[in-house]
Amino acid sequence: MARWDFFVSYTAADRGWAEWIAWHLEVAGYTVLVQAWDFVPGSHWMSRMDEGIRAGARTLAVLSRAYLRSVYGQAEWEGAYQADPTGFARRLVPVRVEDCPRPGLLGGVVSFDLFGLSADEARTRLLAQIAAIHRGRDKPGVEPPFPGTTPPAGPPRASDT
């Protein structure tokens, strides 16, 4: 059994995002291992990182350009990927905090974005996506509109492109 629901993988440049995400996950009742709070003096950093990957049900990778340049970030997301290469257990969950690429194997893992949103919108999206991860699907709670009707006027939504 997993010791934590989530291990939050991030680089120093994204510590604010990592702590914000961890805070809201814990408020929602999840258990979280995050370096900023849990790697206290006397801890062995590499051992804690390895423990987070192995004993966390999921690794939540906080993706940014800085993270993608991080050797340790790469080791963390690759460890989670190797533990679940097919993605059926959703062990690796990429969360983009800025518009950045998802190169190589990381590009094949479905992610979600938190950038460009208000704090309330980001929190709502974070918790909705985490709930979908646990359910294994994201079926809407209401019937979708009939596609044969004329859509309301206005610019296309990001999800429509």
The reported pTM is 0.86
List the structure tokens of 116. 């460009």
pLDDT value at residue 128:
96
Homologous superfamily (CATH) for 6-135:
Toll/interleukin-1 receptor homology (TIR) domain (3.40.50.10140)
3-class secondary-structure state, position 56 = strand
Instruction: Please report, as a single letter, which amino acid is at residue 159.
Output: S
Bridge partners of 2, per DSSP, are none
pLDDT band, residue 161 (cuts 50/70/90): very low
Instruction: Tell me the average pLDDT across 11-40.
Output: 96
Extents of the domains making up the chain? 6-135
Q: Please, which residues have CB within 8 angstroms of residue 154's CB and are 6 or more apart in sequence?
A: none
Report CA-CA distances (Å) from 30 to 45, 87, 105, 114, 142. 23, 21, 27, 19, 27
Rounded CA separation 103/106 (Å) = 6
Instruction: Tell me the average pLDDT across 22-37.
Output: 96
> Of 104, 89, 112, which is closest to residue 158 (Cα–Cα)?
112
